[in-house]
Amino acid sequence: MKLEFLNRSENESFARVAVSAFITPLDPTVEELTEIKTAVSEAVSNAVIHAYKEDEKGLIQLECKVDSERRVIIIVSDHGVGIEDVSKAREPLYTSKPNEERSGMGFTVMESFMDKLEVVSGTDEGTRVTMLKKLDKAYGI
């Protein structure tokens, strides 16, 4: 599945629903589905808040696929301002907007709910967040 949508806050819920609808036929546990939806929300929210500096005409891309081992791979990307220091941005409680009500926990939440998180970004090159979650861990499969 590949989607592209405008950099608007209301599209965060759209992304959650789209990913949920895509993986529901795989019969994930409620916990798996909740964790994936939360991670997608965080990734899209980060793009909405940071990528385009309040320009709601920027685009966010969402890709979701499942491999033969029931691993869900989700990619959220933008062509925005990028992240100057990815390592710093991934630190818990770090926020580039301290004057706003931001917790600085987005990447930490993504990392805790997914099995793998990769963030690739460059200044003025945009950001690509790749998340992986193996389904059926609750069943020991």
C-alpha span between 119 and 137 (Å, rounded): 24
C-alpha span between 48 and 39 (Å, rounded): 14
- pLDDT of 42 reads 93
Tokens of 39: 């991670």
Residue ranges in the chain modelled with pLDDT below 50: none
- pLDDT of 77 reads 98
- pLDDT of 126 reads 96
- pLDDT of 71 reads 96
- pLDDT of 56 reads 78
Catalytic residues: 42, 46, 102
DSSP tag of 49: I
- pLDDT of 88 reads 79
Q: pTM for the whole thing?
A: 0.88
- pLDDT of 99 reads 61
Tell me phi and psi for residue 89, to 5 degrees: -60, -25
Q: Which parts of the chain are beta strand (E)?
A: 2-6, 59-66, 71-78, 116-122, 126-134
